């Protein structure tokens, strides 16, 4: 048989149909892509920012997020580093690092949020960390406001501190003092790990210096488990909530028009960030939705809620 016959027979073989995108998407790759999107939203990073940090193309990252790209282990490692997480967390199995982890995971698997919280509190008491009600006698007189930018943490926090006679700390400003530059410059010059170190130093100092204080925290503090545990352990936390449109409108009202430059994309990003962080914000001792009130009414309602929590008599306005 000559080459021509071989070629003819090769072309005569039936050709398999080209699989569709849905057929190509492996369940593992789909789940991996969902984790990448969740971690990216939780960190408040755009796809472009992650792609640049990971040194991969934005298209490659998009394929990974949608479960159509079978990335190499080195690319996954680069993406994990860009998202400031371990490769194990990116792959969805952080609890496989030791036999003890596996045994603990088996005990906790299938438990509800209430059970898991009780375990976390118990572990915190056993190991001397985490949010342990009553563990820090000064916890009740340190009020920490958490939530996305535009929820009212700075405005309501200052008024609440004045009403209670407490000090008021805006943690972002303290971080900038430690670093000697702006938040944006910290991220661009030194990266997120350095920012988290400054954030922890600022939080530790506020806890040590002020026995009575209202702290307005950066919106992304909950993304760092160590810093969030420190906050939960030493402060009574209040999640200030707001509708996405109110978040964006208030930021614009402060003179920052960047979110409005591409309003539709910005709103989608804001919703994704909120969805990624809500489970963490919900660990707060109290929550309060500021969208339902005018500024003054929001303050009065928040003041009443906080004073009741602290066992204080509410002063009349």
What distances in angstroms separate CA 125 from CA 53, 114, 203, one per listed residue?
38, 17, 21
Mean of pLDDT values over 100-110: 82
Output helix, strand, coil percentages for the chain, rounded to the nearest 5.
65, 5, 30
- What pTM was estimated for this model as a whole? 0.69
DSSP state at residue 69: -
Mean of pLDDT values over 153-175: 96
**Beta bridge mates, 141:** none
Angle ∠(214,120,222) on CA atoms, nearest 5: 45
Mean of pLDDT values over 12-38: 69
Mean of pLDDT values over 149-167: 94
Nearest-10 Cα torsion for 44, 48, 53, 55 = 150
| pLDDT tens profile 124-136 | 778 765 555 555 7
Helix (H/G/I), strand (E/B), else coil: 283:
coil
Q: Which residues contact 305 (CB under 8 A, 6 or more apart)?
A: 238, 286, 288
Q: What is the pLDDT of residue 135?
A: 59
Q: What is the pLDDT of residue 259?
A: 47
C-alpha span between 205 and 211 (Å, rounded): 11
User: E-assigned strands of the chain?
Assistant: 142-146, 167-170, 213-216, 236-241, 286-289
Q: What is the pLDDT of residue 299?
A: 95
Q: What is the pLDDT of residue 138?
A: 80
Mean of pLDDT values over 289-317: 85
Would you say residue 113 has pLDDT above 90? no
Would you say residue 317 has pLDDT above 90? no
What distances in angstroms separate CA 271 from CA 42, 209, 234, 244, 276, one per listed residue?
11, 36, 29, 7, 9
Q: What is the pLDDT of residue 232?
A: 92
Would you say residue 121 has pLDDT above 60? yes
Residue-averaged pLDDT of the chain: 83
Range name among 6-20, 94-108, 142-156, 298-312 with the lowest pLDDT average: 6-20
Q: What is the pLDDT of residue 315?
A: 60
C-alpha span between 23 and 286 (Å, rounded): 46
DSSP state at residue 287: E
Helix (H/G/I), strand (E/B), else coil: 72:
coil
Would you say residue 22 has pLDDT above 90? no
Q: What domains sit in the chain, N to C, each tagged with a CATH number?
A: 20-91 (1.10.260.40), 133-310 (3.40.50.300)
Q: What is the pLDDT of residue 181?
A: 95
C-alpha span between 97 and 105 (Å, rounded): 11
C-alpha span between 91 and 39 (Å, rounded): 11
Mean of pLDDT values over 18-39: 76
Would you say residue 171 has pLDDT above 50? yes
C-alpha span between 301 and 306 (Å, rounded): 9
């Amino acid at each position: 048989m000559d080459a021509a016959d071989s070629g003819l027979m090769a072309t005569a073989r039936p050709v398999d149909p080209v699989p569709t995108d849905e057929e190509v998407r492996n369940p593992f790759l789909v789940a991996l892509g969902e984790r990448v999107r969740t971690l990216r939203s939780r960190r408040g990073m755009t796809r472009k920012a992650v792609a640049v940090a990971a040194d991969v193309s934005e298209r490659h990252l998009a394929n990974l997020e949608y479960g159509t790209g079978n990335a190499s282990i080195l690319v996954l490692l680069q993406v994990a580093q860009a998202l400031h997480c371990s490769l194990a967390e990116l792959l969805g199995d952080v609890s496989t690092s030791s036999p003890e982890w596996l045994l603990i995971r088996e005990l906790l698997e299938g438990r509800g949020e209430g059970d898991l919280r009780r375990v976390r509190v118990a572990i915190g008491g056993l190991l001397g960390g985490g949010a342990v009600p009553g563990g820090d006698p000064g916890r009740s007189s340190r009020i920490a406001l958490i939530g996305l930018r535009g929820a009212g943490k700075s405005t309501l926090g200052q008024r609440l501190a004045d009403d209670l006679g407490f000090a008021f700390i805006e943690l972002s400003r303290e971080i900038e003092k430690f670093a000697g530059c702006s938040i944006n410059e910290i991220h661009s010059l030194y990266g997120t790990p350095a920012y988290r170190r400054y954030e922890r130093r600022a939080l530790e100092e506020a806890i040590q210096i002020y026995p009575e204080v209202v702290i307005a925290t950066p919106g992304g503090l909950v993304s760092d488990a160590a810093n969030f545990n420190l906050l939960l352990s030493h402060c009574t936390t209040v999640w200030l909530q707001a509708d996405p449109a109110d978040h964006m409108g208030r930021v614009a009202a402060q003179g920052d028009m960047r979110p409005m430059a591409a309003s539709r994309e910005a709103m989608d990003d804001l919703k994704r960030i909120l969805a990624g962080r809500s489970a963490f914000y919900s660990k707060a001792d109290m929550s309060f939705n500021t969208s339902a009130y005018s500024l003054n009414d929001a303050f009065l309602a928040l003041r009443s809620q906080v004073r009741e929590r602290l066992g204080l008599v509410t002063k009349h306005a």
